[in-house]
């Protein structure tokens, strides 16, 4: 009985350590800028418009629903394009990088 209890305790401790352990150095992916986010969002909206047109042509949407959804997506696309144009006019913005920090917030 004590061997089984000891084995369960060790397995539980190992599982908890594996799940909650943070390495000293976190390797993050590339930093996203607002412009990069807007480009991704624009592609998603355009894809949604293509899907909407396909499904409308397949007869899955009534005219009123199609027009409402199409207008909504076109307005979103216009807002995204306007913000992208504004950001591209202003030039690259300074970025604040959090790379090279350990989990306690220090350099290194």
Tell me the domain boundaries of the chain.
30-91
Do 43 and 84 form a contact (C-beta atoms < 8 A)? Answer: no
Counting other chains too, the contacts that 103-107 makes at CB distance below 8 Å and 24 or more residues apart are 103/22, 103/23, 103/24, 103/26
Q: Give residue 95's pLDDT.
A: 53
For residue 68, is pLDDT > 70? yes
As a whole number of angstroms, the distance between CA 43 and CA 77 comes to 9
Q: What is the DSSP letter of 91?
A: -
**pLDDT tens profile 27-37:** 777 888 999 99
The model carries a pTM of: 0.60
Q: What is the dihedral of CA 93, 96, 100, 101, to 10 degrees?
A: -170
């Amino acid at each position: 009985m004590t061997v089984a209890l000891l084995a369960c305790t060790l397995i539980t401790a190992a599982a908890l350590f594996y799940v909650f352990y943070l390495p000293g150095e976190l390797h993050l992916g590339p930093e996203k800028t607002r412009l990069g986010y807007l480009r991704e969002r624009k592609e998603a909206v355009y894809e949604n418009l293509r899907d909407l047109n396909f499904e409308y042509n397949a007869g899955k949407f009534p005219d009123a629903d199609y027009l409402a959804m199409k207008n909504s997506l076109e307005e979103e696309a216009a807002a995204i394009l306007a913000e992208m144009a504004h950001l591209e006019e202003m030039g690259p913005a300074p970025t604040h990088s959090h790379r090279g920090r350990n989990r306690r917030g220090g350099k290194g």
